[in-house]
A and B are shown apart, each in its own frame.
Chain A
Amino acid sequence: MSIVTKVLMTGNAAIGEAAIRAGCQCYFGYPITPQNELTEHMAANLSRRKGCAFVQAESEIAAINMVYGASLAGVRVMTSSSSPGISLKQEGISYLAACELPAVIVNMSRGGPGLGSISASQSDYFQATRGGGHGDYRTPVLAPSSVQELADLTHRAFDLADKYLTPVLILGDGILGQMMEPVEFRHEAPEVPPVRSNALRGAKGRPSRIVKTFTSNPSTLEELNWSLFRRYQVIKQAEVTYDTFMVDDARLVVVAFGIAARIAKGAVKTARIEGLKVGLLRPVTLWPFPAAKIRKLAEDVKQFLVFEMNMGQMLEDVQLALEGSAEVSFYGRTGGVIPTPSEVLRVIARLYHQKGLHR
């Protein structure tokens, strides 16, 4: 029997635990299925820690504005919700981006549009990767596909937020949040949580600073937008992360993220056993998107299959990346329907033969 350093946890609780270990000092949330175990974990564990605060806010909008306040005070702060709740938070996220304030926002997404369903879905891709709220901004988006990765990427989300002074999104889904898997935490919670140097904590001994999102001078705002976009260019250069599986000799590459990538990987493994040369590309950062990697793959691979639990959203990023250099097909299930690996395998096998890739 192996030595157990792993614990069994829901994905939701694992995010909470990882956040605490990353030095998250404040959490503000409002209940919504399927992410309540995260709020519950923070209520039970964060509020017991010295100098930390857990608040169940009166609404999602209140929660995101509490995040805004805590971030101004220089502490690591997080909020979480699921699709409809994340829509409510968009104004606050836009303000955080405008004020260059770090924060981690978790979306354990569910079926949409509207109140949708409580089952897992990936239909918030557009919202997550295009900024989400109003104005010219982007947020880094991390897409885990296992409970372990939820924990690891939570840590990375806080680091990215502080490094680039930006809100960072973790885009999971209901299944990842609800399921339990063994998980290992690689960090201990810091005894004294970190505080950013530019925090607003009183102006004793220094000139006062004003942080605001409104200016009546368009050129001042244009300069802010330029400054944000220069930073986004750096993020695009430095932070793209992806995983590949069996792409080296592949004639068909499946592109999928999050839980869908995991399902697709199962299908790709079986396809390989059946002799089909299929590989998988899994973007871990959805923004910045691994466009260069996809273009590189297209030097050898002429057929791509995008598989998502939505009607085809990341599909557009793949098409943009390829610039017509390879053919792209799409398969999706939506509304909270969870596709099976054998279903995806059928799609792969059909496409493979239709396109004559077996010859």
Chain B
Amino acid sequence: MLVKTVFAGFGGQGVLSMGLNLTQAAMMEGKHVTYLPSYGAEVRGGTANCTVAVSNEEIASPVASSPEFVIAMNLPSLVRFQNQIESGGVLLFDASLVETEVSRGDIEVVGIPATDLANKIGSPKSANMVMLGAFIKKSNLVSLDSVIEGLKSTFKGKPDLVTINEQALRTGYDLL
């Protein structure tokens, strides 16, 4: 099993954090995992993306030319990555921010109103965690518990942030 996922969106939406949280959880579960941020001439406020590869065996390349999952948090990311998704793969996008028709019929397209849901639970900044929760449910790559454990180590000494993020994760997870 080798599954590659691309997380993409505006800088500041927390797309790299989504990837890192998944990577952390996969590591805690003893899986092979690589995380590769895009490091081009990116600018603050521009688009950012990262690729996470999770496998039961050694990972040959951390780069994904045709990822199985793409999580698009904005329109430019959806446009850029939708054609790269492997046939039979899954595109998740933030339906609160992106209104679009995806032309491909060979992939599964899942709209998650992540930003609206994050606003509803009172933490607009945690739309990324809502999305990650939905992705965890859809992909079943790692367990939700591992992601929450990972959050606790990421936000060590900041229990408030753990609570907020955990709530957002569960909101997305329970949606699907």
Contacts and interface: CB of A to CB of B under 8 A. Distances in A.
B60 A179 contact: no
B36 interface: yes
Contact of B35 (A179, A259, A265, A266): A179
Interface residues of A, number: 28
B28 interface: yes
B37 A4 contact: no
A283 interface: no
Contacts of A347: none
Q: How large is the interface on B (under 10, 10 to 19, 20 to 34, 35 or more residues)?
A: 20 to 34
Given A8-B24, A267-B60, A182 B36 contact: no
Contacts of B34: 179-181
Interface in A191-224: none
A8 B63 contact: no
A340 interface: yes
Contacts of A179: 34-36, 62
A1 B62 contact: no
Interface in B20-79: 20, 23-24, 27-30, 33-37, 39-41, 58-63, 65
A145 B30 CA distance: 20
B35 A181 contact: yes
A108 B58 CA distance: 22
Nearest to B149: A1
Given A263-B60, A265-B60, A266-B61, A1 B30 contact: yes
A180 B35 contact: yes
A133 interface: no
Interface string A127-167: 00000000000000000000000000000000000000000
Nearest to B28: A4
Given A263-B60, A267-B60, A340-B61, A180 B39 contact: no
A2 B25 CA distance: 12
A256 to B, nearest CB: 11
B39 A33 contact: yes
Given A1-B28, A8-B23, A182-B27, A338 B41 contact: no
Given A8-B20, A8-B23, A8-B24, A178 B61 contact: no
Counting chain B CB atoms within 10 Å of each CB, the highest count among A178, A181, A341 belongs to: A181
A24 interface: no
Contacts of A264: 60
Given A180-B23, A262-B61, A263-B61, A8 B39 contact: no
Contacts of A6: 27
17 contacts: A2-B29, A8-B20, A8-B23, A8-B24, A33-B39, A34-B39, A178-B36, A180-B36, A181-B34, A262-B58, A262-B60, A262-B61, A264-B60, A266-B58, A269-B60, A340-B63, A340-B65
**6 smallest A-B Cβ distances: which pairs?**
A266-B60, A180-B35, A2-B30, A341-B60, A182-B27, A179-B36
